[in-house]
């Protein structure tokens, strides 16, 4: 009888927020190589997705389970309903149609998401896909960070097809990446625009390290490896939230800190399967 209950409770924990011990998160594509500020080699970052509004690139996002995309709250606000979005996964070249597309059946933004003309607070959202992703070399989840991991002083990667919140006229055909570094919260708050708007507990600023200061698609991930896993796995450190646009490299971009929202993310993704 004890054994039967043991088996039953294992079964229940599998259904609720399952972790699949036979797959790994945060494994970059075999083509990966550091190419600061330029085109990423195809499928180097297999968790990157684009959220399309018809033919237009609307936002970026990242695969975190076989059913869920982590993105920004503002991507499903301001007149855009999650049902209007199509998620392109496994994409590199926007003109090569070998990517797969998914519809979005649910979109939840943080209950305390707020926005004004300058900034968004609690700018985080989870989208649920219409069907489970089949993980392949080109489609992989990124790891969620442990809140005790320190990502200061590390070069962080932000990638996207180049459309910014401010609305570039054209976006890139190929996935682009930029390296950035976290700016001390106090230093970032000294900037005139940011001082009234920065909630340093849940947002962080990061400066571009390259000449190419464009910060990828809003809603997209800011990610890095960590020495705790011997720099072999990539973790999502932030979500591209807001900032002054690409033309003004002196202003750092502002990112939602993913580690501050882990319990909320886990609650929204109970039906998905995580890799370890």
Q: Which residues bind ligand NAG (CB under 6 A)?
A: 20, 22-23, 135, 273
Catalytic-residue membership of 172:
no
SS3 (DSSP) at 133: coil
CB of 149 to ligand NAG, least distance (A): 24
Nearer to ligand NAG, 20 or 191 (CB): 20
Nearer to ligand NAG, 126 or 273 (CB): 273
CB of 29 to ligand NAG, least distance (A): 15
Nearer to ligand NAG, 213 or 273 (CB): 273
**CA quadruple 185, 187, 191, 196: dihedral positive or negative?**
positive
Phi, psi of 127 (to 5 degrees): -105, 140
Tell me the Cα Rg of the chain.
Answer: 18
Nearer to ligand NAG, 66 or 177 (CB): 66
Nearer to ligand NAG, 205 or 273 (CB): 273
Distance CA 35, CA 213 (A): 14
Catalytic-residue membership of 171:
no
CB of 24 to ligand NAG, least distance (A): 8
Containing 52, the helix (H) or strand (E) segment is: strand 48-53
**Tokens at residue 53, please?**
């509004």
Ordered DSSP codes for 160-226: ESS--TT--SS--SB-EEEEEEEEPHHHHHTSTTTTTT--TTTEEEEEESSS------TT-EEEEE-
CB of 13 to ligand NAG, least distance (A): 13
235 touches 142 (CB < 8 A)? yes
Q: Which of 218, 224, 226, 241 is catalytic?
A: 218
Distance CA 257, CA 43 (A): 25
Catalytic-residue membership of 92:
no
CB of 271 to ligand NAG, least distance (A): 12
Site of tokens 């991991």:
149
Q: Which of 71, 123, 202, 224 is catalytic?
A: 123
Q: Which of 43, 68, 74, 226 is catalytic?
A: 74
What is the set of active-site residues?
74, 123, 218
């Amino acid at each position: 009888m004890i054994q039967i209950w043991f088996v039953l409770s294992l079964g229940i924990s599998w259904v609720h927020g399952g972790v699949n011990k036979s797959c790994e998160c945060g494994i970059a594509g075999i083509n990966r190589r550091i190419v600061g500020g330029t085109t990423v080699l195809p499928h180097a970052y297999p968790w990157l997705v684009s959220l399309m509004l018809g033919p237009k690139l609307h936002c970026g996002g990242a695969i975190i389970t076989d059913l869920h995309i982590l993105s920004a709250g503002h991507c499903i606000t301001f007149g855009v309903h999650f049902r209007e979005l199509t998620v392109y996964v496994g994409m590199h070249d926007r003109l090569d149609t070998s990517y797969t597309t998914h519809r979005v059946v649910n979109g939840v933004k943080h209950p305390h998401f707020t926005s004004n003309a300058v900034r968004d607070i609690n700018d985080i959202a989870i989208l649920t896909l219409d069907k489970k992703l089949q993980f392949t070399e080109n489609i992989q989840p990124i790891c969620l960070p442990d809140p005790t991991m320190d990502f200061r002083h590390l070069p962080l990667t932000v990638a996207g097809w180049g459309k910014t919140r401010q609305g570039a006229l054209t976006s890139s055909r190929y996935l682009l990446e930029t390296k950035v570094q976290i700016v001390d919260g106090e230093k970032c708050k000294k900037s005139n625009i940011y001082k009234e708007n920065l909630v340093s507990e849940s947002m962080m600023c990061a400066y571009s390290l390259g000449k190419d200061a464009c910060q990828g698609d809003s809603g997209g991930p800011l990610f890095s490896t960590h020495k705790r896993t011997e720099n072999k796995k990539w973790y999502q450190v932030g979500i591209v939230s807001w900032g002054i646009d690409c033309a003004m490299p002196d202003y750092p971009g502002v990112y939602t800190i993913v580690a501050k929202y882990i319990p909320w993310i886990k609650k929204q993704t109970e039906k998905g399967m995580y890799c370890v």
